[in-house]
């Protein structure tokens, strides 16, 4: 059984998604945290993992915590996604930056990447695949999105005092927006990030690892056609270095299971990534 547990800190409630597990040895149940959801007034349905987000009891608990704030956030998110889609496909970088700035006055950059930019880019890709927009429009939107992420990156301040993270892609992978988003978000969190967002020979990546000695490697794959190349890349790295490797990206949104010499993360929010890196 999965349910939401609230913990009060000072005057605010913080929510946890908890699973009840039966311990047959002790003949009792124990609680295991599935996910920390955050401040109650900020939590919405999309914060709940897909397997549980339509549970009536969970939705009821969410609605009981500051429903006006939750409704306001959902409306703001929906409007921001619709507007950003139009501005990206129109090639309007100035308005795209303004959408980011206005949204992050209320919510954090991780929310913007997870709830706004990522679903908008998925929709743009789907609309191109279904001939709803032209390839030229898709390229314009992708280029504006990459410029937007670079502008956000330029605003990042603070020193890198945590782990060193290498972000890279396999041969054939020409989509590097995911790498740019990872670089921006992790830099905001204080990590030192090496972003090799364009495909280069595996030998060059291995040489870079030898010289810079990253603590963790993130491999981003957008197209399923590049999964085999990703498997070869990870295998080559693992043959020489005992470094944690995490693999993710849009290519893993399907139900297909792919074996890697690293840990595949089919779906997660950016806010979950620092925790994953800590235990990697």
Helix segments in 112-264, DSSP class H: 118-129, 135-154, 177-188, 202-212, 227-240
CA gap 210, 66 in Å, rounded: 51
Q: Which residue has the higher pLDDT, 41 or 112?
A: 112
- C-alpha distances out from residue 70 to 45, 113, 153, 231, Å: 9, 19, 29, 41
Q: Is the pLDDT of residue 160 over 70?
A: no
pLDDT band for position 134 (50/70/90)? very high
Whether residue 264 is predicted with pLDDT greater than 70 in this model: the reply is yes
Does 68 score more than 80 pLDDT?
no
> Please, are residues 170 and 230 in contact by the beta-carbon 8 Å criterion?
yes
Q: What local confidence, expressed as pLDDT, does residue 156 receive?
A: 62
Distance CA(57)–CA(76), nearest Å, equals 25
Average pLDDT, the chain: 85
Work out the percent of the chain whose per-residue pLDDT is above 90: 38
Instruction: Summarize pLDDT for 83-96 with one digit per residue, the tens.
Output: 999 999 999 999 99
Q: Which of 23-27, 97-101, 195-199, 271-275 has the lowest mean pLDDT?
A: 23-27
26-35, 62-71, 133-142 — which one is most confidently predicted on average? 133-142
> What's the Cα-to-Cα distance from 117 to each of 62, 78, 195, rounded to whole Å?
24, 12, 19
Over residues 31-66, the pLDDT tens digits come to 788 888 888 877 877 788 888 877 777 776 776 665
The pLDDT assigned to 269 comes to 80
DSSP one-letter string for 29-91: EEEEEEEEEEEGGG--GGGS-TTTTT-HHHHHHHHHS-HHHHHHHHHHHHHHHHHHHHHHHHT
Tokens of 248: 């993710």
Would you say residue 71 has pLDDT above 70?
A: no
pTM over 0.75: no
What is d(CA 173, CA 167) in angstroms, rounded to the nearest whole number? 13
pLDDT of residue 272: 83
Domains of the chain as residue ranges with CATH: 2-65 (no CATH), 69-154 (1.10.1240.10), 164-279 (3.40.50.280)
Q: Of the ranges 2-6, 179-183, 220-224, which one carries the lowest mean pLDDT score?
A: 2-6
CB atoms within 10 A of CB 8: 9
What pLDDT digit, counting tens, does each position of 170-193 carry?
A: 999 988 888 988 988 888 888 889
* Helix, strand and coil in the chain, % to nearest 5: 50, 20, 30
Distance CA(75)–CA(87), nearest Å, equals 18
């Amino acid at each position: 059984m999965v349910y939401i547990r609230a913990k009060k800190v000072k005057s605010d409630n913080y929510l946890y998604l908890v699973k009840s597990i039966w311990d047959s040895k002790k003949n009792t149940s124990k609680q295991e945290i599935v996910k920390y959801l955050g401040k109650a007034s900020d939590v919405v349905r999309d914060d709940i993992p897909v397997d549980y987000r339509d549970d009536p009891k969970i939705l009821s608990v969410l609605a009981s915590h500051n429903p006006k704030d939750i409704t306001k956030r959902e409306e703001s998110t929906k409007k921001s996604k619709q507007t950003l889609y139009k501005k990206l496909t129109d090639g309007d970088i100035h308005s795209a930056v303004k959408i980011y700035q206005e949204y992050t006055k209320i919510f954090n950059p991780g929310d913007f990447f997870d709830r706004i930019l990522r679903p908008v880019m998925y929709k743009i890709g789907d609309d191109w695949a279904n001939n709803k927009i032209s390839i030229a429009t898709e390229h314009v939107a992708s280029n504006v999105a990459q410029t937007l992420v670079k502008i956000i990156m330029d605003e990042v301040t603070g020193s890198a005092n945590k782990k060193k993270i290498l972000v890279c892609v396999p041969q054939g992978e020409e989509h590097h927006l995911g790498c740019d988003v990872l670089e921006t978000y992790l830099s905001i969190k204080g990590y030192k990030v090496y972003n090799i967002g364009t495909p280069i020979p595996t030998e060059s990546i291995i040489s870079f690892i030898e010289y810079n000695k990253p603590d963790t490697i993130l491999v981003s794959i957008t197209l399923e056609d590049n999964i085999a190349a990703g498997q070869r890349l990870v295998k080559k790295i693992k043959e020489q270095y005992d470094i944690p490797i995490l693999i993710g990206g849009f290519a893993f949104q399907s139900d297909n299971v792919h074996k890697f010499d690293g840990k595949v993360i089919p779906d997660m929010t950016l806010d979950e990534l620092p925790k994953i890196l800590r235990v990697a």
